[in-house]
Amino acid sequence: MSHQPQTQGFRAWITAPVPTSGAQARAQQALAGLRRFCANRSALAGALFLLFLGLVALLAPVIAPHDPMLQDLSKRLQPPSSLHLFGTDELGRDILSRILYGTRITLYIAVLTAVIVGPVGLIVGTVAGYFGGWVDLVLMRVVDIFLAFPSLILALAFVTALGPGIENAVVALSLSAWPPIARLARAETLTIRSSDYVAAMRMQGASHLRILWSDVVPMCLPSVVVRLTLNMAIVILTAAGLGFLGLGAQPPSPEWGAMLSTGREFMMNAWWVAAMPGFAILLTSLAVNLAGDGLRDVLDPRHD
The reply to whether 261 falls in a domain is: yes
Is 14 within the bounds of a domain?
no
In a domain, 87, yes or no: yes
Q: What is the CATH number of the domain that holds 146?
A: 1.10.3720.10
Q: Decide if 35 is inside a domain.
A: no
Determine, yes or no, domain membership for 113: yes
Mean of the per-residue pLDDT values of the chain: 87
Residue 155 near residue 176, CB atoms below 8 Å:
yes
Number of domains in the chain: 1
82-104, pLDDT tens digit by residue? 999 999 999 999 999 999 999 99
- pLDDT of res. 1: 47
Is 56 a domain residue?
A: yes
Closest CA to 125 of 173, 192, 78, 47: 192
Residue 2 counted as domain residue: no
DSSP H helices, 15-40, are 22-39
| More confidently predicted of 97 and 213 | 97
Specify if 115 maps to a domain: yes
Domain that holds residue 96: 43-62+77-299
Are the CB atoms for 184 and 223 separated by under 8 Å? yes
Dist. CA 21–CA 28, nearest whole Å? 11
Query: In the predicted model, is pLDDT for residue 152 greater than 60?
Result: yes
| Residue 94 β-bridge partners | 88
